[in-house]
Amino acid sequence: MNAVEKRIHTLHQYKPALTLDPSAADHFWDKKLDLFKNKPLNARVEQRDSLMNGVDTYHVTYEGFDETPIHGWFLVPSFMQKKSYPCLVMFPGYTADKGLPERYAAWLLQGFAVFAVDVRGQGGETGNRLDYDAGTSTGWMTQNILDKDRCYYMAVTLDAYKAVEWAAGRPEVRASKIAVVGGSQGGGLSLITGALHEKVSLIVADIPNMCHMDFGVLNSVGSLKEAADFIKRNPDRLEPVFETLAHFDMMNLAHRIRVPVRMTVGLKDMVCWPEAIFAAYNRIEGDKHIDVHPFSGHEVSERQQQEHRRYLAEWAREAQ
């Protein structure tokens, strides 16, 4: 067994203790979703001109956790002239955005409808009306980090949850074929949305965040470093911060996943560490697959994307 094989073997055995009991996690989220399910989307849809012939392009605005207008692109490959299409609900990485519609051309050519959304406050056109009570470290993720019911992770999770709800209600979308897709932050949001929303039928999570988050706070050079900086300034708040994050940690929520999961990991990733990703992956009990890239860092290569497209094409053809 060479060094790479040994590392991968060790990671497949990595199963740290949970930081939140599954029954407590279920009680928290079942209660939260029950309170939230009737919140109206108050959606607005405006058709836009497109540089892509045969693609219906819509600018969508809806309300997620609060009254913040969340913006997205809904793209339909109408050139295929089908009654409905499998749909990819797509979330961006930290500080990124939904971009321009042309970013999704390859998926559209494969026959997928796409609903790509911003994450509040970050790099897109979406603001953030989250009412937070105290100062934060650099970035967004420490807003209300001491209050699990009102923290930034709660807001972005329920924003993502409502994105699936909006997509599932569209006549162009085949409701039995809705996948959540993203990398890094987008991968974490895909995992947690797939764990919470009954309309999700597939999860594709590249190098996902929101896994083994106490480990990430200690080691990551990415967004979770903001939590480390917060604790550095407020050392007496370590346990309350970890208690909040535990409710959004996919290591603790993996038992709720009931659909196929496809994940990737880079062994040189210092943002979403392999240990963090495997801590969540190893807790998933159902249909799952992880592609390990020994010499990749925090990145998603063209080859990885190609493999996803092959897999999703087969998934879309199943039980049509």
Read off the pLDDT of residues 274-302 as tens digits, 9 standing for 90 and up: 999 999 999 999 999 999 999 999 999 99
Please check the confidence at residue 319 and state whether its pLDDT lies above 70.
Answer: no
* Cα 159 from chain centroid (whole Å): 11
Please check the confidence at residue 3 and state whether its pLDDT lies above 90.
Answer: yes
Q: Look at residue 320 in the predicted model and tell me its pLDDT.
A: 58
Q: End-to-end CA distance of the chain, in Å? A: 43
State the Cα–Cα distance between residues 262 and 291, nearest whole angstrom: 8
Q: Look at residue 293 in the predicted model and tell me its pLDDT.
A: 96
Catalytic site positions:
184, 269, 298
Distances in Å between the Cα of 241 and the Cα atoms of 31, 70, 147, 153 are: 21, 26, 9, 12
CB-count burial class (<10 Å; 0-12, 13-18, 19+) for 201: buried
Judge contact between 167 and 178, C-beta under 8 A: yes
Read off the pLDDT of residues 47-60 as tens digits, 9 standing for 90 and up: 999 999 999 999 99
Return the residue matching tokens 């923290």. 151
Type and span of the H or E element at 72: strand 69-76
Say which residues have a Cβ less than 8 Å from residue 148's Cβ, sequence separation at least 6. Answer: 28, 154, 243, 244, 247
Average per-residue pLDDT in the chain?
96
Does the annotation flag 94 for ligand binding?
yes
| pTM for the model | 0.97
Strand 56-63 relative to strand 44-48: parallel, antiparallel, unpaired?
A: antiparallel
Residue type, 16: P
Q: Look at residue 64 in the predicted model and tell me its pLDDT.
A: 95
Q: Look at residue 318 in the predicted model and tell me its pLDDT.
A: 77
Read off the pLDDT of residues 64-92 as tens digits, 9 standing for 90 and up: 999 999 999 999 999 999 999 999 999 99
What phi-psi label fits residue 227: left (phi over 0), alpha (psi between -120 and 50 degrees) or beta?
alpha
Where residue 117 falls among pLDDT bands split at 50, 70, 90?
A: very high
State the Cα–Cα distance between residues 74 and 131, nearest whole angstrom: 28
Q: Domain 3-313, what fold? A: Rossmann fold (3.40.50)
Read off the pLDDT of residues 153-172 as tens digits, 9 standing for 90 and up: 999 999 999 999 999 999 99
Read off the pLDDT of residues 218-243 as tens digits, 9 standing for 90 and up: 999 999 999 999 999 999 999 999 99
Q: Other CB atoms closer than 10 Å to residue 96's CB: what's the count?
A: 18
* Cα 160 from chain centroid (whole Å): 7
How is the chain split into domains, by residue range?
3-313
Q: Look at residue 234 in the predicted model and tell me its pLDDT.
A: 95
Where residue 135 falls among pLDDT bands split at 50, 70, 90?
A: confident
Of 147, 150, 144, 92, the residue nearest 123 (C-alpha): 92
* Cα 292 from chain centroid (whole Å): 19
